[in-house]
């Protein structure tokens, strides 16, 4: 038989001495004077109905007994209140403030017990809501959805919540949660599969940061062993695309790769990576892996590339025999063979007339006496309607009447030479108005042994200039719907023609004048973002939104006003949903902290009971007629 120990139930056991107050109550009810029986003839007629008298006596005693019970309980509760009763309960149950850190990253869409890991995480989140709740979603960037919100509002939000398809920044989310801890009455519940792709930092460090502020921290891992094969990386080029496919399983598997009309099987050994290369399709396309596994997001690859288009280029020259030897002609040919551009080259030899409707018109080594004013007029009309004119240097260039097309004023010929300075995108610092995607980023133009001294005209943009006198060497000017480029370098007298960036420079010029997007700018990873500069309507995989900062949280295509961006997961760590990690990081990802027990005083509830008894006692006394 277990002995009763008052300290197991009361914080102030000496208060139980108040139970001695029961003794006077018991004496009051038990010690009564014995009544004497007397017969009074005048009252005998009231006692004729013996049954009625006995019945009334019964109820009278009942009233008295109930009053005794109430008074007895009242004294017991008073003694109990003085003794300060308590219950030993979980520290977690005492938390008024609940911080829910809910993993909403891509890996949470892995299959789990008839649903997904995210479905289970939401279910557990609802069970751990407190009176006041802070909800933090774990994505590539943690998102604080609610702060000090009631359980009903948070529960409603969770009912409609869907996970993102981005990477996981769990460590950062835990540090964020530490900012919302409000002392010892806070519980922090972390619901995740604990795949952190943002950092390799120990999650115990973040846990201790929470605990140091008084929070009761509980890690609830939601994961189980599953199968997966997925695309973990992609190198998208204008001509070729190479993807890396990883088999996370313990046995080799053959999968079918499908894209447009291409269907090819590939066998991947256990826990290995295979590379698959194919021709980059133009425009928008989708590659799929025909495989049955438990994580579907990395089985698809969305691709965006510029549409194939034919650029018509017109060379106006009086030295046709030297044209194919020109560096710029060779560069154009290389661009046409190695990019999505298809070049159709034509030659006009002045004074011949020609219908000028090409995309690019290039003037090089012309005889000014043979270049007809009508030809210049036709060129100007084409530029105004969207064409691009490229003017190369020659000694008498300043004597040619370009009818306002030339973006520089030629002064004289300089034969001393000078190094060339990249003005548009200096190598020492970023251009304030061009940013990372500068037209001439990383390009060094080298040295020019000879050039034409000139001044830029108003509203023109100097791309490169002479370091010696600051004169413009490469200049661009917008003209109507088109533009004019003055390329003032004699290729045969400058070092730039042998630079590896020479064809890249002209490729970027083509992209500029045709508004063609770089293929690398059209393919992004989930979790990244771009600034649009101003609010712009964007069609996303989840619907239409208006944003100035566009964050790619889901895979698929994002349609902007001037381009379509393809977004994919492409994360080897996020795709590692095997669940094996739980065997290696038990210390950081244990199912639950040691459940600390604390003493919760319940005196206030005893007082509430005492007040209720006093109210009932007063009601009975009133009902009996004593009041």
Is the torsion defined by CA of 170, 174, 179, 181 positive or negative?
A: positive
Q: Please check whether residue 165 is in contact with residue 184, taking contact to mean a CB–CB distance below 8 angstroms.
A: no
Its pTM surpasses 0.85 = no
- pLDDT value of residue 326: 87
- Give the separation between CA 234 and CA 303, rounded to whole angstroms: 10
Residue 85 has pLDDT above 80, yes or no: no
- pLDDT value of residue 520: 87
Residue 102's Cβ-count burial label (10 Å; 0-12, 13-18, 19+) is buried
Residue 76 has pLDDT above 70, yes or no: yes
Q: Please check whether residue 101 is in contact with residue 136, taking contact to mean a CB–CB distance below 8 angstroms.
A: yes
Q: How does residue 469 score in pLDDT terms, banded at 50, 70 and 90?
A: confident
- pLDDT value of residue 624: 67
- pLDDT value of residue 428: 41
- pLDDT value of residue 142: 94
| Average pLDDT value for residue range 212-228 | 91
590, two tokens? 């244990």
Residue 473 has pLDDT above 60, yes or no: yes
Residue 431 has pLDDT above 60, yes or no: no
Q: How does residue 351 score in pLDDT terms, banded at 50, 70 and 90?
A: very high
- pLDDT value of residue 32: 58
| Average pLDDT value for residue range 395-406 | 92
Report pLDDT digits (tens) over 517-555: 788 889 999 999 999 888 999 999 999 999 899 999 999
Is 490 in a helix, a strand, or coil?
coil
DSSP notation for 263-327 = EEEEEE-TTEEEEEEEEPPSEEEEEEEE---S--GGGEEEEEEPPPEEEEEEEE-S-GGGGGGSH
Q: How does residue 362 score in pLDDT terms, banded at 50, 70 and 90?
A: very high
Average pLDDT score over the chain: 84
Q: How does residue 159 score in pLDDT terms, banded at 50, 70 and 90?
A: very high
Place of tokens 């425009």: 283
Residue 591 has pLDDT above 70, yes or no: no
Q: How does residue 442 score in pLDDT terms, banded at 50, 70 and 90?
A: confident
- Give the separation between CA 410 and CA 267, rounded to whole angstroms: 65
- pLDDT value of residue 494: 92
324, two tokens? 């194919």
Report pLDDT digits (tens) over 21-59: 777 777 776 665 656 666 655 555 555 554 445 544 544
- pLDDT value of residue 565: 95
Q: Please check whether residue 440 is in contact with residue 487, taking contact to mean a CB–CB distance below 8 angstroms.
A: no
- pLDDT value of residue 588: 40
Residue 566 has pLDDT above 90, yes or no: yes
| Average pLDDT value for residue range 472-482 | 92
The enclosing H or E element of 599 equals strand 597-601
- pLDDT value of residue 38: 61
Minimum mean pLDDT range among 77-81, 207-211, 341-345, 543-547:
77-81
Residue 382 has pLDDT above 90, yes or no: yes
- Give the separation between CA 291 and CA 235, rounded to whole angstroms: 22
Q: How does residue 2 score in pLDDT terms, banded at 50, 70 and 90?
A: low
Report pLDDT digits (tens) over 97-140: 899 999 999 999 999 998 999 999 999 999 999 889 999 999 99
- pLDDT value of residue 37: 62
Residue 90 has pLDDT above 70, yes or no: no
Q: How does residue 161 score in pLDDT terms, banded at 50, 70 and 90?
A: very high
Q: Please check whether residue 99 is in contact with residue 177, taking contact to mean a CB–CB distance below 8 angstroms.
A: yes
User: SS3 letters for 441-483?
Assistant: CCCCCCEECCEEEEEECCCEEEEEEECCCCCEEEEEEEECCEE
| Terminal-to-terminal C-alpha distance of the chain | 48
Percent of the chain with pLDDT over 90: 50
User: SS3 letters for 75-136?
Assistant: HHHHHHHHHCEEEEEEHHHHCCEEEEEEECCHHHHCEECCEEHHHHHHHHHHHCCCCEEEEE
- Give the separation between CA 421 and CA 474, rounded to whole angstroms: 10
Residue 8 has pLDDT above 80, yes or no: no
Q: How does residue 612 score in pLDDT terms, banded at 50, 70 and 90?
A: confident
Residue 427 has pLDDT above 60, yes or no: no
DSSP notation for 229-251 = EEEEEEEE-SSEEEEEEEE-SSS
Q: Which DSSP category does 141 fall into? A: S
Report pLDDT digits (tens) over 296-310: 999 999 999 988 778
Q: How does residue 200 score in pLDDT terms, banded at 50, 70 and 90?
A: confident
């Amino acid at each position: 038989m277990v002995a009763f120990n008052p300290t197991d139930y009361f914080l102030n056991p000496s208060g139980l001495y108040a139970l001695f107050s029961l003794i006077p109550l018991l004496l009051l009810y038990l010690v009564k004077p014995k009544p004497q029986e007397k017969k009074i003839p005048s009252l005998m007629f009231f006692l004729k109905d013996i049954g009625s008298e006995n019945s009334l006596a019964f109820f009278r005693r009942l009233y008295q007994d109930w009053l005794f019970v109430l008074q007895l309980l009242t004294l017991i509760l008073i003694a109990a209140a003085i003794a300060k009763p308590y219950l030993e309960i979980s520290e977690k149950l005492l938390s008024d403030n609940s911080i829910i850190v809910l993993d909403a990253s891509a890996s949470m869409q892995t299959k789990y017990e008839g649903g997904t890991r995210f479905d289970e995480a939401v279910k557990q989140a609802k069970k751990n809501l407190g009176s006041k709740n802070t909800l933090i979603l774990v994505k590539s960037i943690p998102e604080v959805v609610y702060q000090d919100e009631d359980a009903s509002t948070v529960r409603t939000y969770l009912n409609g919540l869907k996970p993102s398809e981005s990477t996981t920044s769990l460590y950062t989310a835990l540090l964020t949660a530490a900012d919302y801890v409000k002392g010892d009455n806070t519980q922090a519940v972390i619901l995740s599969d604990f795949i952190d792709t943002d950092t390799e930092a120990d999650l115990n460090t973040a846990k201790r940061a929470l605990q140091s502020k008084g929070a009761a921290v509980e890690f609830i891992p939601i994961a189980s062993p599953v199968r997966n094969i997925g695309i973990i990386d992609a190198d998208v080029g204008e001509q070729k695309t190479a993807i890396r496919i990883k088999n996370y399983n313990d046995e080799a598997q053959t999968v079918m790769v499908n894209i447009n009309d291409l269907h090819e099987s590939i066998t991947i050994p256990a826990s290995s990576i295979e590379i698959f290369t194919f021709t980059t399709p133009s425009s928008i396309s989708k590659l799929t892996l025909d495989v049955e596994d438990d994580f579907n997001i990395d089985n698809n690859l969305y691709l965006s590339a510029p549409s194939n288009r034919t650029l018509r280029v017109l060379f106006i020259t009086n030295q046709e025999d030297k044209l194919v030897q020109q560096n710029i002609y060779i560069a154009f040919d290389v661009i046409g063979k190695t990019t999505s551009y298809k070049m159709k080259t034509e030659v006009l030899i002045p004074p011949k007339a020609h219908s000028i409707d090409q995309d690019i018109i290039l003037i090089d080594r012309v005889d000014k006496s043979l270049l007809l004013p009508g030809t210049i007029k036709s060129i100007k009309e084409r530029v105004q309607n969207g064409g691009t004119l490229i003017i190369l240097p020659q000694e008498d260039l300043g004597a040619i009447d370009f009818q306002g097309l030339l973006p520089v004023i030629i002064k004289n010929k300089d034969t001393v030479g000078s190094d060339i300075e990249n003005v548009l995108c200096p190598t020492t610092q970023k251009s304030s108005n061009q940013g990372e995607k500068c037209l001439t980023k990383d390009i060094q133009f080298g040295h020019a042994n000879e050039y034409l001294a000139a001044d830029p005209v108003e509203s023109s943009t100097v791309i490169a200039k002479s370091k010696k006198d600051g004169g413009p060497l490469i200049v661009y000017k917008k003209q109507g719907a088109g533009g004019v480029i003055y390329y003032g370098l004699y290729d045969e007298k400058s070092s730039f023609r042998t630079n590896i960036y020479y064809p890249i420079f002209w490729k970027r010029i083509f992209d500029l004048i045709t508004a063609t997007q770089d293929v690398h700018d059209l393919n992004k990873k989930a979790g990244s973002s771009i600034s649009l500069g101003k609010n712009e309507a964007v069609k996303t995989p989840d619907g239409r939104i208006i944003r100035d900062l566009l964050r790619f949280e889901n895979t698929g295509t994002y349609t902007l006003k001037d381009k379509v961006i393809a977004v994919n997961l492409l994360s080897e760590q996020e795709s590692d949903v095997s669940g094996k990690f739980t065997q290696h990081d038990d210390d950081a990802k244990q199912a639950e902290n040691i459940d600390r027990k604390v003493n919760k005083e319940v005196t206030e509830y005893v007082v509430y009971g005492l007040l209720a008894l006093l109210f009932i006692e007063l009601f009975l006394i009133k009902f009996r007629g004593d009041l």
